[in-house]
Amino acid sequence: MRQRLAAGNWKMNGSLAALDEIDALAAAHPDPGCEVLICPPATLIAPAAARARGTPVALGGQDCHAEPAGAHTGDISAGMLKEAGASHVILGHSERRAGHGETSELVRAKATAAQAAGLVAIVCVGEQLSEREAANTLDIIGGQMSASIPDGSTGHNLVLAYEPVWAIGTGRTPSPDQIGEVHDFMRARLERRFGAGVGRSVRLLYGGSVKGANAAEIFAVSNVDGALVGGASLTAAAFGPIVAALGAAAP
Ligand SMILES: O=C[C@H](O)COP(=O)(O)O
């Protein structure tokens, strides 16, 4: 059975003082019934990991370079994230694809590097609103999956996150049927590429305006194994109800 995952992406938010939120989250959910992951800015991973030791909260990065080391000013390698205490790294987030020109081929190279370093790659895919309106959603998702996901992926080193770009930070979410259509499509595609065993073991997260109020409805959708949460992951008060809803969701 797939272990459910509640992942928080702090994006470029947070400070040392904000790590109190991780303490509060861990204290309020000592036995969450799902995996709990916080991906803070890279500078906060090591102090956050030190504080989260012995709690159910794991730490992740938000990006990494495809190379293990070298002349890449400003970049960070997967091995560095791992050494800082990360177990996961988000790759191919739409904000990186749009703001940093990341192609699916680059995302695949980064994910390969992350997996080689022993990290779980959380690979993000998602359509623009115009692509959904043109009924191209599944073509876009399928193309991004083919090009972004490394061949050596398994349920242990890959998580796939469906994040419709138009739902991120907007308060808009797809309907449960729309989420289910994409997640069922992603599952079938993974099974076709990797075989039923691996294909069924990869966790599929939904991301985009998830909050306490809509979490249970989203977690009831077929093939939704958790969430990748932005704004509502910044405080224990907002993220706690999402963790609780996932922990309580029927397997
Ligand atoms: O990585 C998280 C997503 O971009 C979702 O962000 P959001 O929950 O603020 O909409």
CA distances from 133 to 6, 141, 155, 215 (A): 29, 14, 32, 25
Whether CATH 3.20.20.70 fits 5-248: yes
**Considering the chain, what is the average pLDDT of its residues?**
97
* Domain regions of the chain by residue span: 5-248
**pLDDT tens figures, 204-240:** 999 999 999 999 999 999 999 999 999 999 999 999 9
Give mean pLDDT, residues 33-41. 97
- d(C-alpha 152, C-alpha 224), whole Å: 23
Arithmetic mean of pLDDT, 129-141 = 98
Return the CA Rg of the chain.
Answer: 17
163 catalytically annotated = yes
With beta carbons less than 8 A apart as the criterion, state whether 131 and 165 touch: no
Tens-place pLDDT, residues 150-195: 999 999 999 999 999 999 999 999 999 999 999 999 999 999 999 9
Which of 29, 93, 127, 131 does the annotation list as catalytic? 93
For residues 227 and 8, the answer to whether their CB atoms sit within 8 Å is no
Give the nearest ligand 1 atom to 9 CA: 1
pLDDT at residue 158, rounded to an integer: 98
Q: Does the annotation mark 93 as catalytic?
A: yes
Span from the CA of 242 to the centroid of ligand 1 (angstroms)? 13
ipTM over 0.95? The verdict is yes
pLDDT of residue 251: 72
Rounded average pLDDT over 92-108? 97
Q: Which residues pair with 124 in a beta bridge?
A: 161
Distance separating alpha carbons of residues 160 and 124, to the nearest angstrom: 6
pTM of the model: 0.98
